[in-house]
Amino acid sequence: MACAMILTLSLSLMACGGNGDNSSQANSSKQENSSKQEESSQETSGQETSSTTAKITGTATGSGSTSVEPIIQQLKDEFEAKNPGTTIEYEGNSSGSGITAANENVSMFGCASRELKEEEKAFGMTVETFAYDGIAAIVHPDNTVSDISMEDLKKIYTGEVTNWKELGGNDAPIVVVSRENGSGTKSAFEELVGFEDALVSDATIAEGNGNVQSTVASNPNAIGYVSFTYIDETVKALTVEGVEATDANVKNSTYKISRPFLIFWHEENMNEVAKAFVEFMMSAEGQAIVAEKAIPVTD
C-alpha cells in the first residue's frame, strides 16, 4: 500500500514538472515572436519615416521663351523656398533655342510660347501645356469699329490700311501703337498676326502693357495690343473675326491671337529636381502662381 502511494505521488510530481517545462517553453516562444514582431515593426516604421522625410537636392536646368520667363521665375522662387537645397536655372532666349537645347540635352527641359512645329514634334519629347496667353487688340471706347479680321490687323500694322473709314469707322487716321523691341508680347503678336519685322515705320512705341493701354485710352484714333489682364473700361477690346477676347475663348482655341505656354523634355535627361519642378508647376499651387501672369490650364 505504501509503495503504491509513493508511486502515485512520484507520477503526480513528474506530471507537474512536465507541464511546467511546456509552459516555460511556450512563454519563451511567445516572447521571442513578440520581440521579432517589434523589431519588424520598428524596421518598417524606420523605412516609412526615411521615405516620407527624404528631401531632394540639386540643380535643374531649363531654357527657352522669354515670354514664359516671368512665370518660371515665380514658380522657381516658390519651389526653391519649399525645397531647400534645390536650384532651378532658366535661360530666357527664344522658343526655338529652348526646343533645341532640350532635345540635345543642353538643358533638362525647354519652354516655348508657341506650338511645336511638325519637325519638332518628331523629336519625341514629352510636352505639357502649363498656361495659355491671350493678346487683345484694343481701341478707344469711342471708336465705332468693334470687330476686326486678322488680315485687317496685319494691314494696319504694316501701313497698308491707314484710315478708320477703310474699316467702316470714322474718317480719321489710324494711330498705330506697338511695343518696344525685345518684348515677348510684341514678338508673339507679330508672329500670330503675320507681319514679323514689317511694322509700319511711324508706329508709336510704348514700353510695357500699361503704357500701351494708357496711350490708346487717351487717343480716340489709336489701336494697340495688350495681354488680357490689361483690358478694362478705359479701352475697348476688339472681337477678332467675331470672337471675343476672353480666357474661355483662348482655352477653346477659337480666339486667334493666343498661344500656349509649353514645357517639354526627354525623360532620360530629367533629374529628380527637374521632375519635381514640373510636378509643382502642374499642381493646384503651381497653377495658382501661373494665374497671376497667364491663363492656367486648370481652374
pTM of the model: 0.65
**Residues spanned by CATH 3.40.190.10 within the chain?**
58-132+258-296, 134-251
**121-126 mean pLDDT:** 98
**276-298 mean pLDDT:** 95
Geometric angle at alpha carbon 285, from 125 and 229, rounded to 5°: 85
Q: What is the pLDDT of residues 174-227, one digit of tens each?
A: 999 999 887 878 888 998 999 988 999 999 999 988 999 999 999 999 999 998
**CATH code, residues 134-251:** 3.40.190.10
- pLDDT for res 23: 46
The CA-to-CA distance between both ends of the chain, in Å, stands at 99
Q: What is the pLDDT of residues 78-97, one digit of tens each?
A: 999 999 999 999 998 888 89
**167-178 mean pLDDT:** 98
pLDDT band at 5 (very low <50, low <70, confident <90, very high): very low
- pLDDT for res 66: 80
- Range in 149-158, 181-190, 217-226, 234-243 with the lowest mean pLDDT: 181-190
- pLDDT for res 277: 99
pLDDT band at 64 (very low <50, low <70, confident <90, very high): very high
pLDDT, the chain, mean: 85
pLDDT at 25 over 80: no
Q: Domain 58-132+258-296's class?
A: alpha beta
Give yes or no for a contact between 87 and 153, defined as CB atoms under 8 angstroms apart.
Answer: no
